[in-house]
Each structure stands twice: as C-alpha cells, then as structure tokens.
C-alpha cells in the first residue's frame, strides 16, 4: 500500500479501503500535493477494494477546501495549473468504478464540500458543516459544485447556498437530500463501515454495473437509459458470480463472490 504525504490509506475490513485527508493541522485543506496524491490513489485503486470510505483525520474537518496559505501570492498561471490538477481529481472521483462513500467528520467547505458531493452518497457527523464559500474569494465552485449541488438539492436551493456562500448543517443537508444519514460523531466511521461491508458482501460486478447504469442513465432520456440498463444487465448473465449467486441461494449458504 502506498504511503502518501497528505493522505492516510487503511483497510478497516476485508475489501474495504478507507481514504482520509491527512493534514489535520491545516483542517485537511487541499494543497498541490493533495491533488497529486489523490490523482495517484484514484489511478491506482486497490485491486481487492469493493467499497471506499472517504473521510478526514482529526475531529475538526473533513476538508476545509483549497489551501489559501499555499495559494497566497500565486501567479494566475500557477493558480490555473494547480486547478487543472484539481479538475482531474474531480473527474477521477466521478469516474471511480468502486462505490465511494463520504464520511464527513467535520467542516466540508469549498473544494471539500465538492469532493463529498462527487461521492456516491454521504454520511455526516452531527457536528459536520458544509458550505460552498468560493464567491467570498472572488472565484466560484470549480470542482463540480455548480453541477452536483443542484442535482442533490434542486437548483433553487443550490443557487441560494452558492450565491450567499452560507454554511449549512448536517441536519439541513439531510433534510434537503444531500446527506443520507446523520450520525453521532463517535459512531460515524463505524456506521459508514457497516454500510460499506453490506456493499462489499454483494457481487462486485453487479454493484459496478449498477453504479455505471445509474450514473450514465441520469444523463439520458428514459428509453435510452433503459436500453443502457439492459445492456449492463446482460453482461452479468454470463459472469461466474451470477452462477455462484444462484447456486448459493439454492444451497442455502452465503455466496463466495470473486468479481468474475
């Protein structure tokens, strides 16, 4: 397993990878090295991972957004070059074939909020806070915020939050449909792990195909999306895991899926 300067990667259970921002003294703010580390992680995914938990170290922040201390005094060219790296990370998050669960343990501001929104779903500690604060800095969300937040909350709520840069709570995020579950801070990772293990116990090819079908289908009209779903389904019929699943059901035992 690779050691990263700004990330902590662990395996809390079989087939589960936990990825954590690991700059707690800086509220896990994203610097250029974080971008490089995330790019490497998502282009070298653990081969046996069936679910990824994305969180932050410490109890103050999931990720406070871009590191403004590093950015202070940056030339326009250097800023754009750094953001190009962050843009690549955004697409890596969106394209990750493995279920990606954000476990937001504290502040998720700016790019941190955007990265959480790029995950498949979000569990949040009751102490977590969210905000897209870019308008206060003379920029705008550029890591998917203007696209993923309206898809999660609806355009009117998203416009209010992005235009005002106002923070909101985990409870509000859950009520609006952005967060799936609000957890006590002390059980956040255990609760997220429990769901990740349920995912990992299922046939990994089935989960990957379902994720692909959902993500692609949302960009299509219904009839085209149904055809995409059917094609994804057909690819599973010939898999060894499909045969194993039916066999295990009839033998009244837990299936032993291999991802084949």
Q: How close are the terminal C-alpha atoms of the chain, in Å?
A: 23
Q: At what angle are helices 222-237 and 204-217 packed, to 10 degrees?
A: 170
CB hemisphere CA count around 192 (13 angstroms): 33
* Residue 65 backbone zone (phi > 0: left; psi -120 to 50: alpha; other: beta): left
Name the catalytic one among 70, 87, 88, 134: 134
Name the catalytic one among 70, 114, 186, 251: 114
* 105: nearest Cα among 193, 186, 23: 186
What is the edge-to-edge ordering of all strands in the sheet holding 181-183? 7-13, 16-21, 51-56, 100-104, 121-125, 181-183
> Can 134 be counted among the known catalytic residues?
yes
152: number of Cβ within 10 Å: 17
Give me the active site residues, please: 114, 134
């Amino acid at each position: 397993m690779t050691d990263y300067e700004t990330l902590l990667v662990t395996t809390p259970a079989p087939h589960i990878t936990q990825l954590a921002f690991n700059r707690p003294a800086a509220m896990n703010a994203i610097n250029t090295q974080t971008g490089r580390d995330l790019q490497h992680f998502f282009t070298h995914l653990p081969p046996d991972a069936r679910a990824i938990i994305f969180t932050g170290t410490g109890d103050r922040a999931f990720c406070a957004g871009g590191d403004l201390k590093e950015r202070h005094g940056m030339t326009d060219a250097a800023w754009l070059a750094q953001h190009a790296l962050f843009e690549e990370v955004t697409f890596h998050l969106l394209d990750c074939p493995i279920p990606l669960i954000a476990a937001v343990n504290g502040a998720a501001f700016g790019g941190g909020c955007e990265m959480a929104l790029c995950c498949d779903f979000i569990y949040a500690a009751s102490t977590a806070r969210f905000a897209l604060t870019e308008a206060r800095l003379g920029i705008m969300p550029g890591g998917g915020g203007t696209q993923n937040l309206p898809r999660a909350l609806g355009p009117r709520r998203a416009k209010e939050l992005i235009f005002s840069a106002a923070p909101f709570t985990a409870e509000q995020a859950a009520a609006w449909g952005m967060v799936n579950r609000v957890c006590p801070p002390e059980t956040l990772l255990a609760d997220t792990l429990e769901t990740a293990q349920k995912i990992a116990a299922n046939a990994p090819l089935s989960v990957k195909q379902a994720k692909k079908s959902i993500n692609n289908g949302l960009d299509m009209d219904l009839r085209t999306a149904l055809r995409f779903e059917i094609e994804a389904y057909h690819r599973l019929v010939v898999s060894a895991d499909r045969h194993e699943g039916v066999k295990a059901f009839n033998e009244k035992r837990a299936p032993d899926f291999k991802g084949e």
